Structure 1
Amino acid sequence: MRAISFYICILPTKLTMVMRLLLTAFFILTLGTVFSQEHPIPSLKYDDLTKSYQQIDSNASAVVVDEWGKTELEVVEADHALRVVHTYAVRIKILKKEGVDYANFQIPLYAFGNTFETIADIKGKTYNLRNTGISESEMNKQSIFLEKTSPFLHLAKFTLPQVEEGSIIDVQYRIFSPDVLNFRTWQFQTDIPKIHSAYTAIMPATYQYRVVLRGPYKLTDTKTEVLRSHFLLNGVRNDCSKITYVMDSVPAFLEEEHMLASKNYKSAVYFELEQYYLTNGSKVRVTKEWRDVDRELLTEKSFGGQLKKEDLFQNLLPTWIATASTDLEKAMAIYDHLKRTIRWNQVYGKYAQFGIKESLEQHKGNIGDINLALITALNAASLPAYPVLVSTRENGIPNNLHPVISDFNYVIASVTIDGKSYFLDASEAATPFGELPLRCINEQGRIIYSKKSSEWIPLKNEQPSLVSFTFLGQLDTAYNLTGKLTISYKGLDALKKRNEIASFNSQEEYFERMQEKIPNIGVKKSSLQNLDSLKDFLYEQLEIEMPMDEYVQNGILHINPIFINRTLKNPFNLNERFYPVDLGAQRHVTHNVNIRVPEGFIIHSSPKNSAMKLPEDAARFMYQSSIDKDRFVLRQVVSLNKAIYSVDEYFHLKEFFSRVIQQQQQELVITGTR
């Protein structure tokens, strides 16, 4: 992933210009910026509709022919306020029937305080070839509607008419935002290829931005100019900088398994406001030092203010830790009791939503309520615990160059006992002490020690993810394979399985659903072991029966001994992957198979043994079988010995799984008579 940073800062030559520049909604404005609704996407030509574009990407269902955007500030005289205006226009060619979905638009509009972003001037047209001419279908305004998704998010939705394979659609709109301190991120790369994408940012002279280009692709062109006297404010004209970023021939971003949020890796330009000037000439730094953020967090009522409420646990702790004799046992008891006391309402947050007191009384809360309560309870028991700010995997990797508090959407606890630190998240009943759910494993978090001290720490699970399949069975003379199948889970796989089981009304309902997923295997009896004992392996025990007669020809049975959880498809298929493979933890999958055949049957041949490993023991594979008279024994182990594989290791990992799949296609051959 490339990240190129540079700074935009054009300062006025006269201090009076700085002092008079409008920066917030409370200053008096006299004249706004003139906004042009024109955009540089050229008029449609006949050749645009007849051109196939398939040579760009034969797998693409649609392609962005041209895309243009512009963001600038606009003065609203009636409200004596500033707003950010974002203009967008795009032309898309529909290449395949599946690409028709790209005619459905959902534009997010966010809340800033009590004010929402708004959208206006939405226009859409569909162009089709009809006989020898071009047919135009304009979108009706009645096709546009606003969905109020949450108190923080609205969605503007519309669908263009008459869209089919071969159509070209044109869309344009403007978004008005009250968030004057932020420019919008421009995504050059999406899930379909783009021929041309251009973005223009017009910024006041007294704003200093750090501009970051992320992703693997370079800009085709960058144009910079100064717009002299762009604002007329209180009789004084002020300058702005105008920068246009262009990227041509942008490939589609292809997502694959085991990755962090795609926005970490897509080619895009980001704007990070570092400082600006007030009308009195004073400078305001937006980018702060971590000690400033630490102090603000720990003095914030919904964060540090909650950590002071240790008295709320004085009456609870004696009962919670009554049977604990060591500090570790005390911490585990507090963790377990808190999970049962406050139920997660499925809302993320680094701040408390209700506060510890109300969450304890109402037995519900968001992530901030739960884990800040956990930290406070641990400290009340004289166990040193600290908050750790986290950005979840889907939220993106946090900025580690300087504090951007909005990057974090989650908080967990860190407690140190006998010199060892444990990460804790008490939001889910199935999460064992000292382990984190996958959503929290996102490179690193920021641990806040005090108002003057914090540091980055890696987020990882020491416990590998373990899955084992053990089958002990026998083949009868009617070619029925019966026996006992035991599946064990530990680590992230155990957490996932326990949560899956909990999603059903009963264990019986869960096993019924399992039977539907494996129709070729009859389950005669089933049970679970250690479902609530989180420190132990979770076991599924199944008595199964599999008719094998359909695999018999001329008295010869061909059976694949890896009959469950066999790798059928390589999870890594890209020609080139520009982002790491992130599993969240090391992972080991084991198969143990033991099959006895009846008298008169002969195990004619078994799969060949195989073993391989990647450089530096990054991964191992072992497939070993043997025949002992009437018994076939197989042991297979797939060990991924790293939680994260770099881009340079991708090809080796891809080839590794390709060979695993080939090996698992081998069959056991048994001869006999009925």
Structure 2
Amino acid sequence: MRYKLLMITMVVLMGAVHCAQAQKIKLDKVTKDELELKVYAEDSTAAAIYLDKVRETYFDYKTSSGFLIINEFKERIKILSKEGLDYATKKILNYKNDSDKELVDDIEGVTYNLVDGKIEEIELKKDGIFENERSEHWDETSITMPAVQVGSIVEWSYTTISPFYKIDDLILQEDLPIVEYYAKIRTPGMFTFRRLKKGYFDITPKESIVDGGVNFENAYGQSNYASYKELVAEYTQNDVPALKEEVFLINPDNYRRSIVYELISTEFTEGNKKEYATTWEEVAKTIFKQREFGGQMSPSLSLKKVAARMVADHKTQAEKIEAALAYVKSKIKWNGNYGKYTDDGIDDALKRGSGDVAEINLLLTVLLRECGVQANPVLIGTKQHGIPSFPTLEGYNYVVVGVRDGLKTILLDATDKFSAPNILPTRVYNWYGRMVNKEGVSQEIDLYETISPQKDRYVMADLNEDGSINGVLKQRYKSLEAFELRHKVDEESLETYTQERAVDLGVDEVTNLKLEGIEELSAPITESLEFKINQGVDQIPGQIYLNPLLFFTMGDNPFKSDVRISPVEFNYPFFHNTNVTLKLPEGYEVQQLPEPIKIALPGELGSFVYSITHMGQTLQVMTKFNLTGTFVPYDYYQSLKEFFNRRVAKETEKVILQKSI
């Protein structure tokens, strides 16, 4: 959330005042060599590249609106392939809140083409600029450059003007490589910002203190000048690689090279210092004070009546929680909107029958409190929103409900019809949340503390002499594993699901598939089915080469890159237990058996165990894969890759059966 800059009330700034303006950003002239460039040497796969990405940010002041933040941008992009043509369009998002909004001004653009050995310039016209409303709080300005083709260079410049307390993040890494990046940020001495680095890179800004000031007219029409010091920080980076998509990376933006400016305090007159949220406790208190959050905690008369009936019908806390959760799910459908603040309020959402995350889960909080349950909202930053690495009002974009139960917390989310106590949509499991009580006091909550996702798999099968395999599979899904299965089954018929299971398992036939416990949302699901594999082994005369894990073999390492510059993120911790019992065909004996192994990830993040035994004509194999952490630092990548290499090698190792003479 962005906050409007407060009007300056001190006498020296009562007139029409303006800070010193930045000079127009200028770039070197486009050259023929740049237009003739076919491939970027640093990244031959790049569809386009930023030749230049330049920005200057400074403060202005107007009597009618107070301080404004001005951003001047100039960017130049070289189109290298047909896929790169998409980058000839620039989209600029502008935030708005009530009557205050950000503006885009002074848009200019040029497309450069090489025609018969000469540089041709085509200027951007007004018909290439579009404005539209994206949502209640966001407008979009779109720039579409003219006469663009493979080989073109496009260049645009624009200015944004914001009345809000937010310096936009400095984005030093894009989805395209950047040849040269430069930014200058000028902040007046009465503003104090915290600067933090996101992503894995090193940068030290060039800093200086310069004189700044404003001219103004006082109440008597006299011209005066107020001076102050200005902190100037200049950031330079060259040959910045593109941000690449990588496996097991939920949100690459979390690790995009960026500099974040967070306002700590303002001091417009000596001794009159105002501090902003500098700790998570202060952030939580600030959020709780908002009418769209803490102001929603008073129940309506109709909700009190609902609570009274629940108390009469349900005696234990567990029963009241189940009843309240079911009631809210049945009355309000989630409209897909995130946010920690309500749009229209919980009462309107209840009447309408639909609402955003905050309206649904704050309503659940209020209802539980009326039932005598100690319930409080829990602020969360979802996986896609990112990992809040420092105290900030923008760190949270979601709210669930927390109920204290002894030393633990029961978490609830009524936005999903398959959720249950301590079984929430996977989007919310992102390290820690912050529970806020009625007084605005908060405490950190470990979101993984009460979940234990587990999948137990049992196979009983017969291997026939002709190489076919038939048997029974039973699987037990617990916690989030069951939650995800409920969603999958809900979207299709049992017949379709049965067909998909045959494909998933890589078998020729699945029959008699049954699912038990699917209706009881807090319970595990047990799946049972019969399967047939027409040819499940490799054979040569007198020998059979068998993979004893059958369709539960990990045959390929998902981590293929030699290097990785971002961490590895799994959705949630889990435990997978696999047991296969295989009856061997008569007349065959085991000639070679894999050795058992036990391997571990560094930092106690996980482990893998493999063991195999045989007795008579029965072969038994067991694996246990336990992932205790969801975040693997990038400097553990080589160890992680080797862990999976060893796991794949072991799981693909064959049992050799020899026919008896």
- Give yes or no for TM over 0.5: yes
Where in structure 2 are the equivalents of 1:435-454 lying within 5 Å? 435-451=423-439, 453-454=441-442
Partner of 1:253: 243
Displacement of 1:633: 2.4
Q: Return closer, same or farther for 1:290/1:633 CA change in 2, 3 Å cut-off.
A: closer
Q: Output the amino acid matched with 1:43.
A: K
Aligned-partner Cα distance in 2 for 1:385–1:568:
47
Q: Which moved more, 1:128-137 or 1:261-270?
A: 128-137
What is the match of residue 487 of structure 2? 499
Corresponding residue of 2:298 = 308
Distance (Å, rounded) in 2 between the aligned partners of 1:411 and 1:226 = 44
Q: Which residue number corresponds to residue 634 of structure 1?
A: 621
State the shift of 1:257 in Å: 4.1
Cα pair distance change 1:281/1:323, threshold 3 Å:
closer
1:50 to partner: Cα distance = 5.2
Residue 462 of structure 2 is matched in structure 1 by 474
Q: For 2:305, what is the secondary structure of its paired residue?
A: coil
**CA apart distance, 1:456:** 3.0
* Aligned counterpart, 2:527: 540
Inter-partner Cα distance in structure 1 for 2:118 and 2:456? 64
Determine the C-alpha separation between the residues in 2 that align with 1:128 and 1:540. 62
C-alpha contact (below 8 Å) 1:19/1:278 kept by paired residues? no
For the pair 1:182 / 2:172, whether they are aligned, the reply is: no
SS in 2 for 1:590: strand
CA contact (8 A) 2:411 2:422 kept: yes
Q: Which consecutive unaligned segments of at least 5 residues does structure 1 have?
A: 1-15, 22-26
Residues 143-193 of structure 1: per-residue CA shift (max 9 Å, x gap): 44334322222333345566666x353332324333342222111123333
- Would you say 1:592 and 2:579 are equivalent positions? yes
Q: Which amino acid aligns with 1:276?
A: T
Give the corresponding residue for 1:146. 131
Classify 1:664/1:516 alpha carbon distance in 2 versus 1 (closer, same or farther; 3 Å).
closer
* Distance in 1, Cα, partners of 2:106 & 2:498: 54
Question: In 2, are the aligned partners of 1:611 and 1:621 still within 8 Å (CA)?
Answer: yes
Amino acid paired to 1:437: P
* Structure 1 CA distance for aligned equivalents of residues 342 and 27 of structure 2: 47
Displacement, 1:548?
A: 0.9
- Confirm whether residue 432 of structure 1 aligns to residue 420 of structure 2: yes
Cα distance change of structure 1 residues 538 and 97 upon mapping to structure 2, 3 Å threshold: farther
SS in 1 for 2:167: coil
Contact 2:18 2:214 survives alignment (8 Å):
no
Alignment partner, residue 622 of structure 1: 609
Instruction: Sort the Cα spacing of 1:619 and 1:171 in 2 relative to 1 into closer, same or farther, 3 A.
Output: same
Deviation at 1:656, TM superposition (A): 0.7
For 1:385, which of 372, 375, 378 is the aligned residue?
375
Deviation larger for 541-550 or 408-417 = 541-550
Report what 1:65 is aligned to.
Answer: 51
Q: Tell me how far 1:46 sits from its aligned partner.
A: 2.9
Match for residue 89 of structure 1?
74
* SS of residue matched to 1:305: helix
Q: In the aligned structure 1, how far is the partner of 2:10 from the partner of 2:208? A: 21
How far is 1:93 from its partner?
Answer: 3.9
Instruction: Return the alpha-carbon distance in structure 1 between the equivalents of residues 593 and 125 of structure 2.
Output: 67
**Counterparts of 2:178 and 2:426, CA distance in 1:** 33
Checking the alignment, whether the CA contact within 8 Å between 1:584 and 1:644 is kept in structure 2 is no
1:370 pairs, out of 354, 360, 365, with 360
Distance 1:130 1:434, change over 3 A: same
**Cα distance between partner residues in 2 of 1:353 and 1:368:** 8
* Distance change in 2, residues 1:185/1:358 (3 Å): same
In structure 2, what residue type is equivalent to 1:413? V
Q: Which amino acid aligns with 2:619?
A: F
2:469 and 2:536 in contact (8 A); partners too: no
What amino acid is the match of 1:353? Answer: D
**In 1, are the aligned partners of 2:583 and 2:618 still within 8 Å (CA)?**
yes
Distance 2:166 2:659 in 1: 76
Partner of 2:265: 275
Aligned to 2:91: 106
Q: Are 2:33 and 1:43 aligned?
A: no
Shift of 1:587: 1.8
Is the contact between residue 18 and residue 277 of structure 1 (CA under 8 Å) also seen in structure 2?
no
Q: Cα 1:477–1:138, aligned 2, differ >3 Å: closer, same or farther?
A: farther
Per the TM alignment, residue 469 of structure 1 is displaced from its structure 2 partner at its CA by 3.2
d(CA) in 2 for partners of 1:136, 1:261 = 38
* Matched residue, 1:486: 474
**SS at 1:349 equivalent:** coil
Partners of 2:172 and 2:42 lie apart in 1 by: 16
Distance in 2, Cα, partners of 1:570 & 1:135: 50
| Correspondence for 1:200 | 184
Q: Distance in 2 between matches of 1:115 and 1:202?
A: 23
Deviations 1:591-647 (A, max 9, x none): 222333444556654444332224564322122223344333221222223344345
CA RMSD of aligned residues (A): 3.8
**Aligned residue pairs, count:** 647
Distance (whole Å) between structure 2 residues aligned to residue 138 and residue 668 of structure 1: 70
Residue 353 (str. 1) matches residue 353 (str. 2): no
Q: CA deviation at 1:88?
A: 1.7
Residue 554 of structure 2 corresponds to residue 567 of structure 1: yes
Give the alignment's TM-score, normalised by structure 2: 0.84
1:197-276 paired onto structure 2 within 5 Å: 197-219=181-203, 221-229=205-213, 235-239=223-227, 241=230, 242-259=232-249, 261-276=251-266
Residues 288, 220 of structure 1: alpha-carbon distance in 2 compared, 3 angstrom cutoff:
closer
- Deviation of residue 411 (structure 1)? 1.6
Equivalent runs, 1:519-530 vs 2, <5 Å: 521-530=508-517
Q: Which letter maps to 1:210?
A: R
Aligned AA (1:192): L
Distance 1:74 1:149 in 2: 27
In structure 1, what residue type is equivalent to 2:446? P
Q: Where do 5+ consecutive residues of structure 2 fail to align? A: 1-7
From the superposition, tell whether residues 191 and 655 of structure 1 become closer, same or farther in structure 2 (CA, over 3 Å): farther
Q: Alpha-carbon deviation of 1:476?
A: 3.9
Worse-superposed segment, 288-297 or 265-274 = 288-297
Instruction: Indicate how the Cα distance of structure 1 residues 542 and 102 shifts in structure 2: closer, same or farther if over 3 A, else same.
Output: farther
Measure how far apart 1:277 and its partner are. Answer: 5.2
What is the DSSP-based 3-state SS (H/G/I as helix, E as strand, rest coil) of the residue aligned with 1:534? coil
SS of the residue corresponding to residue 325 of structure 2 reads helix
Give 1:430 deviation, angstroms. 1.8
Q: Which amino acid aligns with 1:42?
A: D
Confirm or deny: 8 A CA contact 1:29 1:80 kept in the other structure: no
Q: How far 1:299 sits from its partner (Å)? A: 4.9
Q: Given the superposition, is the C-alpha separation of residues 82 and 291 from structure 1 closer, same or farther in structure 2, using an over 3 Å criterion?
A: closer
SS at match of 1:394: coil
* Contact 2:193–2:265 under 8 Å retained in 1: yes
Q: Secondary structure at the match of 2:321?
A: helix
